[in-house]
Amino acid sequence: MATPLGARGTARPATTSPHPATDKSPLVLSGATVVLPTGTVKNGRVIVDGPRIIGAAPENAQVIDVTNHWLVPGFVDLHNHGGGGASFTSGTIEDVLKGIRTHQNHGTTTLVASTVTGDMDFLAQRAGLLSELAEQGDIAGIHFEGPFISPCRKGAHAENLLRDPDPAEVRKLVDAARGQAKMVTLATELPGGIDSVRLLAEHGVIAAIGHTDATYEQTVEAIDAGATVATHLFNAMPQIGHRAPGPIAALLEDERITVELINDGTHLHPASLQLAFHHAAAHRVAFITDAMDAAGFGDGRYLLGPLEVEVSEGVARLVEGGSIAGSTLTLDRAFKRAVTVDRLPVEDVVAAISANPARLLGMSDRIGSLEPGKDADLVLLDHQFDLKGVMRRGEWVVDPQLG
Cis, bond preceding 13 (omega within 30 deg of 0): no
Q: How many residues does the chain have?
A: 403
Say how far apart CA 397 and CA 10 lie, in whole Å.
Answer: 23
Relative to beta strand 206-209, strand 229-230 is: parallel
CA gap 35, 259 in Å, rounded: 22
Amino acid at 356: N
The total of other beta-carbon atoms located within 10 Å of residue 155's CB is 25
The burial of 68, by beta-carbon neighbours within 10 Å (0-12 exposed, 13-18 middle, 19 or more buried), is given as exposed
- Which residues, including other chains, have CB under 8 Å from residue 137's CB and lie 6 or more apart? 14
Strands (E), 177-257: 181-186, 206-209, 229-230
290 is annotated as an active-site residue: yes
The Cα–Cα gap between 98 and 91 comes to: 10
Question: Residue 283 CA to chain centroid, in angstroms?
Answer: 16
How far apart (Å, rounded) are the C-alpha atoms in residues 301 and 316?
Answer: 9
Q: In angstroms, rounded to a whole number, what is the distance separating the alpha carbons of residues 158 and 45?
A: 49
CB 57 within 8 A of CB 69: no
18 and 318 Cβ atoms separated by less than 8 Å: no
- Give the closest residue to 166 by CA, choosing from 177, 174, 157: 174
Q: Cα angle at 205 between 200 and 211, to 5 degrees?
A: 75
Q: Which of 95, 290, 293, 342 is labelled catalytic?
A: 290
Residue positions annotated with a catalytic role: 290
